[in-house]
Amino acid sequence: MKAVAVTPGTPNSVHLKDIPMPSLDKYPNGKGVLVKVLKVGVDATDKEINDALYGNSPPGDDHLVLGHESFGIVEEVGPNVTKVKKGDYVTATVRRPGGSIYDQIGTYDMTSEETYYERGINLLHGYMTEYFVDEEDYIVKIPPGLKHLHVLMEPMSCAAKAVQQAFEVQRRMKVWRPKVAWVMGAGQIGLLSTLTLKLRGLQVYTIARSPAPSLKAEITEGMEATYISTKERSLEDLVAETGKPDIIVEATGSSVIAFESMKYLGLNGVLVLTSITGSDTKHELPTDKINIEWVLGNKLLLGSVNANSEHFEAGIKDLALGDVMFPNVIQKILTNPVDGLDNYQELIRLLVEEKSALKVYMNVADE
């Protein structure tokens, strides 16, 4: 069967590859699930992998099958599978456990080992192929009423985890009543973080470069958040209006903005970093000023990566509620479809060149 792969270490190596059809025999415990792939999304991580800045092939292979944002339908299940059945819509988590205690209790997104295993990213093949198998623990059921949001489940899981982690660590405050949230970046993670923060009752300001009107602004406002263009308004000016934010979620993909954001966080606040930055950017900052403000303000810096199946489930609930509260808004993120695995060049072209794209994805097959 066909798969879209790269050769890690070689820039722009994306190619079509013939790989064997997977089988449930891989799981002698009877817990395998065979999934027919319907759609696969791509994001900045895939771009970095194709640029040879990030990602590794599985040991013994010179290629890595791409794709970590999956949407498919269950084709066949092993005899001991109880969570899903043939015909269910599903996605799959990305990370697989290593050996640490966190891996062993299902929180493989928090592994304490340097080596991490991620399907389509690091040391494990991904989902950009016709079928995949996995163990039922890593398969997440998607309600049929959400199938129009297909490849957003994985990015939503990362946004849901980032915000959930922030609330979790802020229990240090005994009472934490955050009012104002800033989201840096209005790409998919920025917009999905906006949604989950809105659903927690915060006043959300989603901050990006480009001036409105734009699709980003329309989606932000559609979720009853406020869109701010830094070309039109300075962040100092925004602080003067709303005060410093209680939480900032950084999702621009830029480490410069991640560190610049430290200047704006409010007292007792939390800054959550989510950008994956594979390059080697350097940047100068007023470190004394930031440092003293952070010390005197008891501020917290939190990195968040990946998501386990609990975050997928939480994210799916947020998408379901968001889709009811803001009808026809979230699906606008799904901007650029490409038809068929053969069209992988067009998929990568859109990912690299189409600046207005919020989500590029491939329609792999019909049901």
Binding residues for ligand BGC, rule: CB under 6 A, are 43, 45, 68, 94, 118, 121, 154, 158, 276, 305-306
Work out how close the CB of 155 gets to ligand BGC at its nearest, in angstroms, rounded to a whole number.
6
Q: Rounded to the nearest 10 degrees, how much is the dihedral formed by the CA atoms of 204, 183, 259, 334?
A: 180
Q: Which of 230, 225, 241, 246 is nearest to 299 (CA)?
A: 246
Site for Zn ion in 34-93 (CB under 5 A): 43, 45
Nearer to ligand BGC, 123 or 247 (CB): 123
Work out how close the CB of 154 gets to ligand BGC at its nearest, in angstroms, rounded to a whole number.
6
Q: Which of 302, 68, 310, 261 is nearest to 162 (CA)?
A: 302
Q: Cβ atoms within 10 A of the Cβ of 48, count?
A: 18
Nearer to ligand BGC, 88 or 154 (CB): 154
Work out how close the CB of 306 gets to ligand BGC at its nearest, in angstroms, rounded to a whole number.
3
Nearer to ligand BGC, 192 or 235 (CB): 192
Tokens 């403000």 correspond to 293
Work out how close the CB of 234 gets to ligand BGC at its nearest, in angstroms, rounded to a whole number.
30
Nearer to ligand BGC, 37 or 94 (CB): 94
Nearer to Zn ion, 153 or 330 (CB): 153
Q: What is each CA distance from 170 to 108, 178, 272, 299, in whole angstroms?
A: 22, 10, 12, 10
Work out how close the CB of 130 gets to ligand BGC at its nearest, in angstroms, rounded to a whole number.
22
Work out how close the CB of 162 gets to ligand BGC at its nearest, in angstroms, rounded to a whole number.
11
Work out how close the CB of 42 gets to ligand BGC at its nearest, in angstroms, rounded to a whole number.
9
From the list Zn ion, ligand BGC, none, pick the one residue 246 interacts with, judged by a Cβ distance below 5 to 8 Å according to partner type: none
Nearer to ligand BGC, 43 or 323 (CB): 43
Q: Tell me: does residue 122 bind Zn ion (CB under 5 A).
A: no
> Phi, psi (5° rounding) for residue 43?
-145, -170
Work out how close the CB of 29 gets to ligand BGC at its nearest, in angstroms, rounded to a whole number.
25
From the list Zn ion, ligand BGC, none, pick the one residue 35 interacts with, judged by a Cβ distance below 5 to 8 Å according to partner type: none
Work out how close the CB of 233 gets to ligand BGC at its nearest, in angstroms, rounded to a whole number.
29
Residue nearest to Zn ion (CB): 43
Nearer to ligand BGC, 276 or 357 (CB): 276
Nearer to ligand BGC, 88 or 118 (CB): 118
Nearer to ligand BGC, 228 or 275 (CB): 275
From the list ligand BGC, Zn ion, none, pick the one residue 121 interacts with, judged by a Cβ distance below 5 to 8 Å according to partner type: ligand BGC
- Residue 60 CA, chain-centre distance (Å), reads 28
From the list Zn ion, ligand BGC, none, pick the one residue 118 interacts with, judged by a Cβ distance below 5 to 8 Å according to partner type: ligand BGC
CA distance 98 to 100: 6
Task: Convert 71-135 into a string of H (helix), E (strand) and C (coil).
Answer: EEEEEEECCCCCCCCCCCEEEECCEECCCCHHHHCCCHHHCCCCCCEEECCEEECCCCECEEEEE
Q: Tell me: does residue 109 bind Zn ion (CB under 5 A).
A: no
Q: How many residues bind Zn ion (CB under 5 A)?
A: 2
Residues lying near Zn ion in the complex (CB under 5 A) are found at 43, 45
